[in-house]
Structure 1
Amino acid sequence: MEKLPETPEQMVTKVRVAIRRIGQGITLVAIFFLIRELYEQSGEIRNWRPTIAQFFLMSVLALAYAAALLILAFNWLTILSALIKDPLPKGPVLLSYTSTQIAKYIPGNFLHFVGRHAYLKNTGLSHKPIATASIYEIISLPVAAIIAICLAIPFVDSGRVGSWERADRTAIAGLIVVALTVVLAVIWYQCNTRAWKSASIVISRATGFMLFQGLVFSALLYAVSGSFVVLAIPVAIMSWLVGFVTIGAPGGIGVREALLINMLDSASANENVLIAALLFRVITTVGEIVLYAFGNVFLAKPNSRGE
């Protein structure tokens, strides 16, 4: 019996499965590398004892990171508001973000989008604007990360990344052009003044968040090593970006840490980068838990829903 040709839906499903498997493979390799580094640096890690000042700094950074995540929650509100003409209740929209963001740690790295969609569907919003808003958010975050990297790199000591040759400047200019092209393409698709304003606000906020995220990691590395490494800022953003686009890596676990260690091996001692990378993961996770608690305590109140 002759085998029937595959339908487009079956082909798409196979591609999705293949991409997910590749992402899972990358994650496993990254986690293996991280475990190996932990084993090799186990002595230094066991000997490291955080001071009271370092504990205080980490607590402040975790709270500050939670506050910074609210910027992305307001971006979600801005994107939805640009797509839906009717006024939106701010409380439920923001709560749909704060209460589901932590779901990115569930294997698959996409369930926070699914949870957000389901939450807003229950409030009466239709499928199309929610799905479109999710696509725009997924596009805006990598674009903002690329812009933030391009903004941070010129401040890096040339000795850390090599001399500034013409090719380097051209590559950075190319990254900026690509990022801006994507932004303009999204805006052009909407093709109205409201979309221009909303897109500029969303990208500006997200870029600020990315730069802040890089500063958080550089502050941790400074606290551990005693020296401030500017290169840590763009590297932290780049590691977030790679973790974000790696399908199957829940929250970029393993991928982000492996990149931080590899890309900063010449800028700081491996054990310092490893400790800072692990602390960075703890702080961002705690920040997301704080965001979740904040949303459920304050945004879930009837008088904060804006209804």
Structure 2
Amino acid sequence: MKSLGVDVSRAWSIKIYGISQLAKYVPGNVFHIAGRQALGMSAGISGGILAKSTGWEIGLISVSGAVFSWLVLPLLIPFVTLPASIALILLTIVGLGYILYIFFSFHLFLAFIYQISFLLISGGIFVILLGALVQNEGGEHLQAWIFICSAYVVAWLVGLVTPGAPAGVGVRELILLFLLKGLVNDEDLLMAVVLGRILTFAGDLLFFSLSSFFLMIKKEIKNE
């Protein structure tokens, strides 16, 4: 929004996201986006600006997720080494960051860095969940965890861009099973996915509850 000339506060943005994000679980996979558009317009922001902001958001998060595909190449192409994949992802992040900063705006560059960080944290949480399940079954090596983290992010991206799948349900699981076949036991992988879904939904529900609570408090203070 700031890159488009609309100075919105961080607190307002978090509140809008918290209220609308739960709608991603509704079949169609677009209602959380429509909700943010409606809430933004009700706050007096131009619909065109909101649509452009959403376009940039989806575009950047998709590009950020696609960057991690470099790290799954060794799973698909045996002669590609992990160090080569790491070099490629670092060069891609630096190159894209430079383009966004120089040719567009600092705010878009910052959004890109935040999105890369978000995906790293998401993948890291999945790795922790899976690690708690497999324990000493050979998955403790750093290389394996890098593959698992990146595979999770790539699966998340495919689920994101698949029309109609609420929160990517079913799609992400299939991609993970395909990418990690032979690396992780299927039962452990599916259990980690289920636990990850529960954790994600609980987080989204808590986010929604807190945002709704603060919005209600704000309205009560305003009406006094």
The normalised TM-score by structure 2 is 0.81
| Structure 1 residue 240: Cα displacement | 0.3
- Tell me the alpha carbon deviations over residues 85-142 of structure 1, each in whole angstroms, 9 at most, x when there is no partner: 4x43444332111100111111111111110010111111111111110100010101
| Structure 1 residue 218: Cα displacement | 0.9
For residues 27 and 126 of structure 2, the distance between their equivalents in structure 1, rounded to whole angstroms, comes to 24
Q: Does 1:107 align with 2:27?
A: yes
Q: Does 1:218 align with 2:164?
A: no
User: Which amino acid is the alignment partner of residue 222 of structure 1?
Assistant: G
Residue from 194, 197, 205 that aligns with 1:281: 197
- 8 A contact 1:147–1:179 mirrored in 2: no
Residue from 99, 106, 120 that aligns with 1:184: 99
- Tell me the alpha carbon deviations over residues 199-254 of structure 1, each in whole angstroms, 9 at most, x when there is no partner: 11100010001011111111111111114341210000000010011111111000
Alignment gaps of 5+ in structure 2 = none
Alignment gaps of 5+ in structure 1 = 1-79
User: Which amino acid is the alignment partner of residue 215 of structure 1?
Assistant: G
For residues 5 and 38 of structure 2, the distance between their equivalents in structure 1, rounded to whole angstroms, comes to 17
Which position in structure 2 is the counterpart of 1:96?
16
For residues 81 and 159 of structure 1, the distance between their equivalents in structure 2, rounded to whole angstroms, comes to 39
Residue 100 of structure 1 aligns to a residue in which SS?
A: helix
Residue 8 of structure 2 aligns to a residue in which SS?
A: coil
Q: Does 1:122 align with 2:42?
A: yes
For residues 125 and 98 of structure 1, the distance between their equivalents in structure 2, rounded to whole angstroms, comes to 18
- Aligned CA distance change for structure 1 residues 180 and 108 (closer, same or farther; 3 Å): farther
- 8 A contact 2:20–2:35 mirrored in 1: yes
Residue 44 of structure 2 aligns to a residue in which SS?
A: coil
Q: Does 1:268 align with 2:177?
A: no
Identity between Structure 1 and Structure 2 (%): 25
For residues 77 and 201 of structure 2, the distance between their equivalents in structure 1, rounded to whole angstroms, comes to 30
Q: Which has the higher contact order (CA 8 A, sep 6+)?
A: 1
- Aligned CA distance change for structure 1 residues 287 and 257 (closer, same or farther; 3 Å): same
- 8 A contact 2:67–2:93 mirrored in 1: no
Larger deviation: 272-281 or 223-232? 223-232
Q: Does 1:162 align with 2:82?
A: no
Which position in structure 2 is the counterpart of 1:256?
172
Aligned residue pairs total: 213
CA-atom RMSD, angstroms?
Answer: 3.4
Larger deviation: 221-230 or 238-247? 221-230
- 8 A contact 2:22–2:32 mirrored in 1: yes
For residues 179 and 241 of structure 1, the distance between their equivalents in structure 2, rounded to whole angstroms, comes to 20
The normalised TM-score by structure 1 is 0.60
| Structure 1 residue 278: Cα displacement | 1.3
Find the structure with the greater CA-based Rg.
1
